[in-house]
Amino acid sequence: MGEFHTSDRQSPPPLPPLPKGGSYEGPHLAMGVAPSDIVRNSTENRTRRVNRGEPRSNCLCRPVPAVPRSAVTWISCLLLLLAGCSEQDMVTQPKILPYQESDFFADGRSARPVVPGTVARGHLRVDRAYYEGKVGDELIDTIPRKVTRDVLERGQQRYNIYCSPCHDRTGEGRGMIVQRGFPQPPTFHQDRLRDAPVGHFYNVITHGYGAMYSYAARVDPDDRWAIVAYIRALQLSQHATLDDVPSAKRDALKTEGSR
C-alpha cells in the first residue's frame, strides 16, 4: 500500500509517440501558450502528468517538426527557467507518500485499512500451525520452522527490542518499564511456562495477554517463532549446568566467572 506510485520511483518508461492533436502539454507550450499557464496548471493536468510517470522535461525537449529547431531550443530554455517558478509542483507533488494526509478519504488517512473479506497478496496464511500456533484447537509444541543459529540470533535481537523493556533480558520480568510501574509479568523460568507449549508463546505475542498488548503489528510470524525459540533457549539457560556446556568452552567459562 505504501508504495503507491511505484512508477515514479523507477526509470521512466519509453517515451510515448508524439500526439497529433493538442491535448498533450509539451508541443503546445513550445508553440507559445502564455507561460503563466504552466505555472497555474490545473490539478487535473498535473495529476495526469504524474500518472504518466514522465518528468516534464521529456515533453519540452521534443522538437516539434513545424517550428525551427533553434526557436524550440530557446523557448524551451526560457520555459525551463520559468519552471523554477512552479517549484511548488515538484516539491509537493500530487502523489501520496507513506502516512501523508490525504483529502481524498473522509478520515484523512492515505494508508487504507484492508477491505473486509479480502486477502492481500502473500497473506493467505492457510498453514494454521505456522500462523496460529495451533492444530485444530490444540496448541502445537514443536516450532514449525527450522531453528538454526541464525534464527536464534534473530530471535535474540527481536526479543531484546520488543520484549526486554518489560521481561528484561533474562526473562525474569523485571525490565525497565516494570521498574517504572508497569504490572510485573511472570518470570519465564517458572514451571508453568517451562511446560507451556510453544504455541502458547506464539499466541501471547500475536494476541497479547492480560495487560500485555499484542505485538502482531510489529513482529511478523517468522520473527515470532524466532522469539519463541529464543525464549526456550533462555529457559534452558537458567537451568543449565556446566555439563551442558561444550567441553572446549568450559574452561573459558570458569575463568570468566559469573557474568
CB of 173 or CB of 197, closer to other proteins: 173
Q: How far is the CB of 50 from ligand HEC (least distance, A)?
A: 17
7 contacts which partner out of other proteins, ligand HEC, none, CB within 5 to 8 A by kind?
none
Q: Which stretch binds ligand HEC (CB under 6 A): 111-119, 126-134, 175-183, 237-245?
A: 175-183
List the one residue out of 39, 44, 42, 49 whose CA is nearest residue 86: 39
CB of 146 or CB of 180, closer to other proteins: 180
Are 170 and 105 within 8 A, CB to CB?
A: no
CB of 49 or CB of 159, closer to ligand HEC: 159
Q: Which of 18, 77, 85, 97 binds other proteins (CB under 8 A)?
A: 97
Q: Which of 112, 218, 249, 250 binds other proteins (CB under 8 A)?
A: 218
String of contacts with ligand HEC for each residue 130-169, x by CB under 6 A: --------------------------------xx-xxx--
Question: Residue written as cell 492515505?
Answer: 110
Interface contacts to ligand HEC, rule CB under 6 A: 162-163, 165-167, 177, 180, 182-183, 185-186, 201, 204-205, 209-212, 215, 219, 227
